[in-house]
Amino acid sequence: SLRWIIDGNDGRSVAATHGATVISVDDPPQGWAGKPHACWQGQQRASGRILVFMDADVRLGTNARESLIDAVVHVSHDSMTMVSMQPWHTPVRFSEHFAMLFNVVSVMASRCRGLWVARRPLAFGPLIVCDAAAYRALGGHGHQSVRGSIIEDVALGKLFERGVVNVGSKNSVTFRMYDTGLRGVFEGFVKNFASAGLNSSVIALVGVVTWFVFLCSPLVVGVVMYPICVAQVYLVSRVVGRFTIVDALIYPVHLVFFVAVLCVSVWRRFILRTVSWKDRSVQI
């Protein structure tokens, strides 16, 4: 059975009504971020052989059970593998659509292997399935590299020997990202890039850059390439979320937004060494 940790008080009565065990968590101690601390407290109350960590903004659809069963079966046969689900993105506000290219790039990067050393795909995301015994043996969210991280899913994935990333669909696992407006989208992805995205493997970076160069080809080759790029962006984006033909038509705007996030991420990572997240400054 799933055990839920509710972040805040608004959902407590609703969760309890539906049979969930609601756990009260104190403020995190020094050196711990809030989310890793909550997950660590929650797993101490769990008694099953498999642990499932799911963010509050994840929604399970009609086919979610099959996806979760597949993940559990995989972990049961290979305890040192962490399986994660990259949910299908369901943007509601206009600003949320600017996550389109970031979703595509994250899926591309997670399935690439390093060019110089043999690296397995890195499992990360808002829905994680892992073996409880292996999780605890590795240190889990209490590990020194995870407990204070603001991208704890990535840090946790690095502890496991192998990772598997499955992409959700509109009928299985979905979520919204940064639904507080354009500033939230911008700061959220700056945080992700500055903290972990710039550490991607060489082949992943080459693949992303190559694709972006292709998307810029209409500027060089001519407008004849624009419909081709639009078609490709539309087809690829539909795999990762509910993005529309309008998103594909204005992909140059998305591209400018992506580059702006990347530039600010580089500045914050290598110069300022801090990121801004939820109205606080975090050292990286």
pLDDT digits (tens, 9 = 90+) for 120-149: 667 888 999 999 999 999 999 999 999 999
User: What φ, ψ does residue 194 adopt, rounded to 5°?
Assistant: -65, -35
* Domain of residue 30, CATH code: 3.90.550
Residues 6+ away with beta carbon under 8 Å from 198: 265, 266, 269
In a domain, 201, yes or no: yes
pLDDT band at 107 (very low <50, low <70, confident <90, very high): confident
Does a structural domain hold residue 239?
Answer: yes
Quick one: pLDDT at residue 282? 77
- pLDDT value of residue 219: 85
1 in a domain, yes or no? no
Instruction: Give the Cα separation of 143 and 158 in Å (integer).
Output: 11
With tokens 């669909």, the residue in question is 169
Per-residue model confidence (pLDDT) at position 8 = 52
What does the chain come to in residues? 284
Provide the edge-to-edge strand list for the sheet that holds 81-86.
50-54, 127-131, 81-86, 162-167
- If one compares 23 and 90, the residue with the highest pLDDT of the two is 90
pLDDT at 118 over 70: no
- Whether 90 is covered by a domain: the verdict is yes
pLDDT for 57 beyond 70:
yes
Q: Give residue 9's pLDDT band: very low, low, confident or very high (50, 70, 90).
A: low
| Across 110-120, average pLDDT | 49
| Cα separation, 25 vs 72, whole angstroms | 27
Residue 6 counted as domain residue: no
Range of the domain at 150: 12-283
Band of pLDDT at residue 17, cut at 50, 70 and 90: confident
Answer whether residue 250 is part of any domain: yes
Tell whether 72 is covered by a domain. yes
Instruction: Evaluate the CA torsion angle 23, 24, 30, 31 in order and state its sign.
Output: positive
Q: What integer pLDDT is reported at residue 117 of this predicted model? A: 42
pLDDT > 70? residue 198: no
Query: In this structure, what token pair is assigned to residue 172?
Result: 């299985």
Residue matched to tokens 């389109």 = 100
